[in-house]
A = this chain, B = another copy of it.
Amino acid sequence: MTSTSPTLREQSERLLHRLAESGARLTPTRAAVLRALTSRSDGFTVEELCGDVRPVGRATVFRTVRLLLQKGLVCKLAMGDATPRYALSRSGHHHHAVCVRCGAVDDFRGCDLDDLVQRVAAAAESEVLGHRLEVYVVCAQCRRNDASGSAPSTHHAKHQKFRAIE
């Protein structure tokens, strides 16, 4: 972790400035959390993040994630009954395809979805406040790994896979 790729540097610095703009203070601790966060391309658990930024306190990591959540810079994946994961939020309204093997998160926009949602609401004479769609998948990388013997190879997929779905 001595030389960080410039793109990640930039990315975490952008986030830091987005926070600053909204009145939050620029602290080394926050910078560290943001760096850890951006260097994980996947969905991550807070506990994993804590591991990355030790010795930053657990409470602080949770607070930082909550802050980012409130600013809409990060979003939370419910993951059925498994440990909730978080992911950088690259855009406005979107949904997620999560790999249940490695935790990789793929964003997508569900334009058609809004139609469906509105129809459902109309049928029930209800007012829509929001919706959430999560798709659980095995990603291309993990499928390849599955196919070629049991080697977990260079792909992420730390210690434990998490059980799926509803």
Contacts and interface: CB of A to CB of B under 8 A. Distances in A.
Interface of A: 75-76, 78, 80-81, 97, 99-100, 106, 108, 110, 112-113, 115-117, 120-121, 123-140, 143, 164-166
A165 B137 CA distance: 23
A135 B120 CA distance: 9
A128 to B, nearest CB: 5
Quickly give the copy total for this chain: 2
A93 to B, nearest CB: 10
A116 B126 contact: no
Nearest to A93: B166
**Chain A binding surface SS class:** mixed
Given A116-B112, A132-B80, A137 B143 contact: no
A125 B106 contact: no
A126 B130 CA distance: 27
Contacts of A115: 112
Nearest to A129: B136
Nearest to A112: B116
A66 to B, nearest CB: 10
